[in-house]
């Protein structure tokens, strides 16, 4: 049973790869042209030919090709965005390190050149005066 599933998966992949090509779209277009109902057909026959033959056969392959191209472009854009993110993360880390170094220098300069100021104890707050109640 395992080989049966493996064969089905392989066959489905091969058919999908074959149908999802522009060559297959052109082949389906030729087949659709062969099935053209003629110039004396009714409007219903033309609608059926277009909807059942042209759209289902030709557009199927074209849509599959487009999806494959879009998937490839998405993967490429994802790789580019991932690289940009890594580059920006490195830049942020570098800027952060520079900021820390500058901050340390400013602290050292401020400590070295600041005058020694006496530290005053905070003044005690007076309690608010209570009003005498009028009798």
Per the domain annotation, does 131 fall within a domain?
Answer: no
Residue 108, pLDDT score? 85
- Phi-psi region for residue 38, left (φ > 0), alpha (ψ -120 to 50) or beta? left
Global pTM value = 0.55
Residue 106, pLDDT score? 87
Structural domains of the chain, count: 1
Per the domain annotation, does 43 fall within a domain?
Answer: yes
Q: Is there a contact between 22 and 62 (Cβ–Cβ < 8 Å)?
A: yes
Rounded Cα distance, 69 and 22, in Å: 12
Domain coverage including residue 86: 20-95
Per the domain annotation, does 65 fall within a domain?
Answer: yes
Question: Mean pLDDT over residues 49-66, rounded?
Answer: 90
């Amino acid at each position: 049973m395992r080989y049966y599933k493996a064969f089905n998966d392989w066959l489905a992949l091969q058919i999908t790869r074959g149908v999802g090509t522009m060559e297959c779209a052109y082949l389906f277009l030729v087949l659709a042209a062969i099935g053209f109902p003629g110039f004396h057909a009714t409007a219903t026959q033309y609608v059926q030919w277009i909807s059942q033959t042209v759209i289902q056969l030709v557009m199927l392959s074209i849509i599959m090709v487009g999806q494959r191209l879009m998937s490839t472009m998405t993967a490429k854009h994802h790789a580019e965005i991932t690289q940009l993110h890594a580059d920006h993360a490195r830049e942020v880390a570098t800027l952060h390190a520079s900021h820390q170094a500058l901050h340390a220098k400013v602290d050292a300069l401020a400590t070295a050149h600041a005058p020694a100021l006496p530290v005053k104890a905070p003044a005690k707050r007076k309690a608010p005066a209570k009003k005498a109640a009028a009798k």
